[in-house]
Amino acid sequence: MATVTQQGNRGSLTRRQRISRLWSRVYQACVGLAALALVILLLKIVDDAFGTVAVVNVVDPASLVSQDGRSIEQQNAEELAGLARDYLDEEGRHFVSTDRLFTLFLDEVARTELPSSALRNLTVGQALFSGQNFPQKWADRTLFELRLPDVARVERDARARADIALLLAGNVEQGRLLELVYNDIVQVELLESWNLIDSLTRQDEIRARAARDFPQATLEFRSWLNADFLRTPGSSQALTSGIRVALLGTLWMLVIAIGVSLPLGLGAAIYLEEYARHANNHRLLRLLNGFIETNIRNLAGVPSIIYGILGLTVFVRAMEPLTSGQLAGVAGADGRTILSAGLTMALLILPIIIINAQEAIRAVPQSLREGSYGLGATQLQTIARQVLPVALPGMLTGVILSVSRAIGETAPLVVVGAATTIFVDPDSPFSRFTVLPIQIYRWTADPREGFQDVAAATIIVLLLLLLSLNASAIILRNRYSARARRTL
């Protein structure tokens, strides 16, 4: 009989231990590589999102001082309005544009809390500027007319320019005019932007280069991710670009997608788990149910672009009267709205929600159902009072995971028609839209200085959103499994 110190046919003990150590190193290396890839990704993003920038004012504020030497902060509304008048720019490319003035007026009126569709048809004389502070001849014009060629034409007319200055001075607060002067006349222009690592390690080099190439410019450290970045819409300038519209678009889309797919998905899961396998069902029905179940699993693996094409065909084109808002009485242009996007996304996450909810329902111990039936509960009562309460956290985990999927999807929305450039907040399901990943895609591809950094800041926002959602899914799941352990 062999003793414990004798070797069997597994080779010597030391050799076995060596091999075991080797493999544990290999597995460690796998983990290490994966972690390294993640660290590099995060570093790259952070590197872009913060760093030194060289900025210069397009118009030196010193040249805007009043005749008696007061700086622009000290000037009154009338003087600031005069500046705006002087820098009114027909093309709207460099200085104060007529579009900009129009939004400024709208903002003033918006304080009356009128819906924006009603604003367009309001005449200048109606409630707008307290009836006095505008040239009488404009009283009957609608705000919308103010924006279009009328104003563009009057730009060339010195008297009309004076009218505009009067309009501004009489109706817009000094603070907002100051903002206008800063943003549209003084303007901060981005000359060059350096990454975080360069900014930290090569400070002297950067300073020397800036002094040589941009003697006018000031160097400052900038976090591209800041409060204004979240609050402002996109812009043609990297410095003033924000993600407000994309963030709102993402939220709108999620609300619609979840609103549609949650009830559908949970309902389907309850049917498949609690009713489909019922003994009394006809054989054909059971076959059909099995077929459906298999295909839901397949659908979860379909590339998202296919869903985009489906959405384009069904929601954007076939259901255009509904998705464009025609049926709801909104004069929308076409079906490429946030509603179409939300519905497409709902289809995309539906299989994920169904599968996760099915798993959660299946995890409810059969003994609970039997206990309930044994007391004379009907099937409905058993589902509502035993199955759903126990399965709910698991179901929610699935929903949150599918939301994270929906937040990051880009391809189907490109097909469904996400706008690439849009500066107006979405305010109804029938608005045109853009979402965070689309903005990232667009800004990443933008060759102008600074937009890479804007994209990086947007990626951080997206990642933070995703991380917080996943974290809540994990917390829910942990709670759930703790409870499940007590049940079993």
Q: What is the dihedral of CA 181, 182, 185, 187, to 10 degrees?
A: -170
Determine if 385 is a binding residue for other proteins (CB under 8 A): yes
Among 15, 221, 371, 475, binds other proteins (CB under 8 A): 371
Q: Within 10 Å of residue 150's Cβ, how many Cβ atoms?
A: 14
Q: Which stretch binds other proteins (CB under 8 A): 113-121, 209-217, 366-374, 436-444?
A: 366-374
Interface of this chain with other proteins, residues 272 to 311, rule: CB under 8 A: 277-279
Residue 358 in the binding site for other proteins (CB under 8 A): no
Q: Which residues of 124-138 are buried (b: 16+ CB within 10 A; e: fewer)?
A: beeebbeeeebeeeb
Which residue number, 321 or 389, has a Cβ lying nearer to other proteins? 389
Judged by CB under 8 A, the stretch of 30-38, 167-175, 227-235, 360-368 that binds other proteins is: 360-368
Number of residues that bind other proteins (CB under 8 A): 24
Q: Is 2 in the site for other proteins (CB under 8 A)?
A: no
Q: Please report how close the Cβ of residue 390 comes to other proteins at its closest, in angstroms.
A: 6
Do the Cβ atoms of 307 and 344 come closer than 8 Å?
Answer: yes
CB of 377 to other proteins, least distance (A): 5
Would you say 103 or 379 has its CB closer to other proteins? 379
Nearest alpha carbon to residue 438 among 295, 308, 293:
308
State the minimum distance, in angstroms, from the CB of residue 447 to other proteins: 59
Taking 3-state DSSP, the helix, strand and coil percentages for the chain, each rounded to the nearest 5, stand at 65, 5, 30
Select from 201, 235, 367, 420 the one that contacts other proteins (CB under 8 A).
367
Element spanning 192, H or E:
strand 188-193
- The Cα 422–Cα 107 span in angstroms is 18
The Cα 414–Cα 291 span in angstroms is 32
Q: Which is nearer to other proteins, 121 or 367 (CB)?
A: 367
Determine if 202 is a binding residue for other proteins (CB under 8 A).
Answer: no
Nearer to other proteins, 106 or 377 (CB): 377
CA torsion sign for 172, 176, 181, 183 is negative
Of 1 and 284, CB closest to other proteins: 284
Minimum distance of other proteins from residue 473's CB (angstroms): 21
Q: What is the DSSP letter of 242?
A: -
Q: What is the pattern of x (binds other proteins, CB under 8 A) and - over residues 449-488?
A: ----------------------------------x--xx-
Q: Nearest distance from residue 486's CB to other proteins, in Å?
A: 5
For Cα atoms 249, 411, 445, give the angle at the middle one, nearest 5 degrees: 80
Which is closer to other proteins, CB of 189 or CB of 293?
Answer: 293
For 365: left if phi > 0, alpha if psi spans -120 to 50, otherwise beta; the answer is beta
Which residue pairs, CB below 8 angstroms and at least 24 apart, start in 98-107?
A: 98/147, 98/151, 98/152, 98/155, 99/147, 100/180, 100/184, 101/151, 101/164, 101/168, 102/143, 102/146, 102/147, 102/151, 104/168, 104/172, 104/176, 104/180, 105/143, 105/146, 105/167, 105/171, 106/143, 107/176
| 386 lies in the site for other proteins, by CB under 8 A | yes
Structure tokens that stand for 299 in this block: 């659908």
CA angle 93, 98, 99 (to 5 degrees): 85
Name the residue nearer to other proteins (CB basis): 172 or 364.
364
Q: Which is nearer to other proteins, 2 or 488 (CB)?
A: 488
The binder of other proteins chosen from 119, 368, 388, 414 (CB under 8 A) = 368
Q: Which amino acid appears at position 134 of this protein?
A: F
Can you tell me which of 187, 372, 434, 458 binds other proteins, judged by CB under 8 A?
A: 372
Residue 365 touches other proteins, criterion: CB under 8 A: yes
Instruction: Pick the closer one to other proteins by CB: 176 or 369.
Output: 369
Q: In sequence order, which residues have a C-beta less than 8 Å from that of residue 459 and are 6 or more positions away? A: 45, 49, 440
Residues pairing with 3 in the sheet: none
CB 151 within 8 A of CB 98: yes
Binding-site member from 373, 392, 425, 466 for other proteins (CB under 8 A): 373
Residue span 387-426 as binding mask against other proteins, x where in contact by CB under 8 A, dash where not: --xx------------------------------------
Single out the segment in contact with other proteins by CB under 8 A; choices: 323-331, 361-369, 429-437, 445-453: 361-369
Nearer to other proteins among residue 23 and residue 271 (C-beta): 271
User: Among the candidate windows 68-76, 221-229, 364-372, 392-400, which touches other proteins by CB under 8 A?
Assistant: 364-372
Q: Could you give the CA distance from residue 320 to residue 322 in angstroms, rounded to a whole number?
A: 5
Nearer to other proteins, 218 or 487 (CB): 487
Q: Rounded to a whole number, what is the distance in angstroms from the first to the last CA of the chain?
A: 45
130 or 280, CB closer to other proteins? Answer: 280
Smallest distance from the beta carbon of 351 to other proteins, in angstroms?
A: 24
Let me know: does 152 contact 90? Beta carbons within 8 Å: yes
The residues binding other proteins (CB under 8 A) are 277-279, 365, 367-378, 381, 385-386, 389-390, 483, 486-487
